[in-house]
Chains A and B, each alone.
Chain A
């Protein structure tokens, strides 16, 4: 943590990597929340859960576009897998109906299994990709599956030195 760059200009010279935030807990303790960016749902395919892959301008200096898009695409794939209507969902539905849905007291539904996978994936992404860049993704299920909330953190040591893109966001 002592090797962290102090000023915004120093930080922008780094290839998107803050040495101080290599730990999620350090992120919460050593940084203050500057802003939150919300990735909205993409309804072009109907009511299936899918998020927009459009790269928000607030994150331009914080993370590479491809990394962000990969994360969102992966999440979309997971949700598509959970909501897929096919042989397995029919089997699950019919079996559950025959047991008057008591079977759900014993086994997990496919959706719940995929949600656990998503939660692990987001945890892993936060640890490996986002926390080192001073960002944190919140699992969409905690926001009613409406948005992917990305919290943007600023190093507490640098007071007033906004990196420009994250704090003043007043629409595009």
Chain B
């Protein structure tokens, strides 16, 4: 008796994400820095719980380790939630939708003379009396919604794209931005907490040594913790402050870095409520958006699709094999957008994407893996 193996949709998703737990967990491909983050947090806290907490619980208050545990649990929960969840990935357009959009574009552009570059694919929409340009994504074959951007590391368009964070091993977008913010905020508090109580511990020890004529050495771990906390403090607290500023203005890191809403001749931010409290409430207390990627849905044989693109079958096979190329990111915060200038779709055939190059050279037809996969349920005859 051979059991039928069910193929779930996450196995056929294009993009460079890795999935765990049968599609429940979704992360970027490079996870090295994420493991470092885990190691630093768990390592430092373990040292704190092992060496400082017994002393402080006895000599000061047992509430200190209790609060530290709660804070640690909160930090880990927020980190894992940020890292493992779908940041708001927009699925690629299926062939019919892509063709429909192409036809609309051709109709809008009219006749382009041979040898001439076609005009850039941009749609203008009016949002709250400001004109916002929507760019066309050649990889995903859609006009990106406002505030969405294409992450070249994960090779996905992400809604309300903030940045790709290697420390959490995932993009930060609409769905996980608040968890990311709470992670940085709680990590700042935890770092300050551990740093402060390390100092208190050292002071108390020396005080006791002085008054009780006892010699006891400050453990080396305390010194280690102080060092880690000191360096972490500057970066994490700074990052929390930066994101608090962004939230109060209802901006994303991507928009801030590109200067979308700054400058005299630029458009004012049409998404801001012009009120700090309202902006904070919208970002932090807004609705919890669902994932539109049905990762755990079961793949079915699509018998109604009239598409005849043979390339799609070949490219589906290609996309299901993990691509061996890895794009190592060296910069800590990498806002990414993949726009091709006004490149013709037929120019270039490179499939390697480097993180720093802004130009996309992928031709849309042969390598697009957004096909409807036929016959995916592997049924064994019994």
A21 smallest CB distance to B (angstroms): 15
Q: Which 3 pairs of residues, A with B, have the shortest CB-CB distance?
A: A171-B107, A93-B285, A100-B77
User: Which residue of chain B has its CB nearest to the CB of A109?
Assistant: B288
**A41 vs B144: C-alpha distance in the bound complex, in angstroms?**
11
> 7 more A-B contacts (CB under 8 A) besides A83-B286, A92-B288, A144-B90?
A36-B97, A38-B96, A38-B101, A46-B127, A82-B287, A92-B287, A146-B145
Interface with A: B41-49, B224-232, B236-244, B289-297, which one?
B289-297
B69 CB within 8 Å of chain A: no
Among B97, B146, B287, contact of A110 (Cβ-Cβ < 8 Å): B287
Q: A-facing mask of B127-149, CB < 8 A → 1, else 0?
A: 11000101000000010011100
Q: Is the Cβ of A85 less than 8 Å from the Cβ of B90?
A: no
Q: List 16 A-B contacts (CB under 8 A).
A: A36-B100, A38-B101, A43-B132, A43-B134, A44-B126, A46-B128, A46-B271, A47-B147, A47-B159, A83-B286, A93-B288, A96-B288, A111-B290, A146-B93, A146-B142, A170-B107
Q: Is the Cβ of B146 less than 8 Å from the Cβ of A46?
A: yes
Give chain B's interface residue range (CB within 8 Å of chain A).
35 or more
A172 CB within 8 Å of chain B: yes
B74 CB within 8 Å of chain A: yes
A127 CB within 8 Å of chain B: no
A147 CB within 8 Å of chain B: yes
Q: Is the Cβ of A85 less than 8 Å from the Cβ of B182?
A: no
Among B90, B128, B286, contact of A146 (Cβ-Cβ < 8 Å): B90
Q: Is the Cβ of A147 less than 8 Å from the Cβ of B288?
A: no
A32 smallest CB distance to B (angstroms): 8
Among A100, A102, A172, contact of B107 (Cβ-Cβ < 8 Å): A172
B residues adjacent to A (C-beta < 8 A): 73-74, 77-78, 81, 90-91, 93-94, 96-97, 100-101, 103-104, 106-108, 125-128, 132, 134, 142, 145-147, 159-160, 179, 182, 270-271, 281-282, 284-290, 292-294, 304, 306
Contacts of A70 in B (CB 8 A): none
Q: Is the Cβ of A141 less than 8 Å from the Cβ of B292?
A: yes
Among B96, B128, B284, contact of A36 (Cβ-Cβ < 8 Å): B96
**A93 vs B91: C-alpha distance in the bound complex, in angstroms?**
26
**A4 vs B94: C-alpha distance in the bound complex, in angstroms?**
32
**A96 vs B284: C-alpha distance in the bound complex, in angstroms?**
12
**A149 vs B97: C-alpha distance in the bound complex, in angstroms?**
8
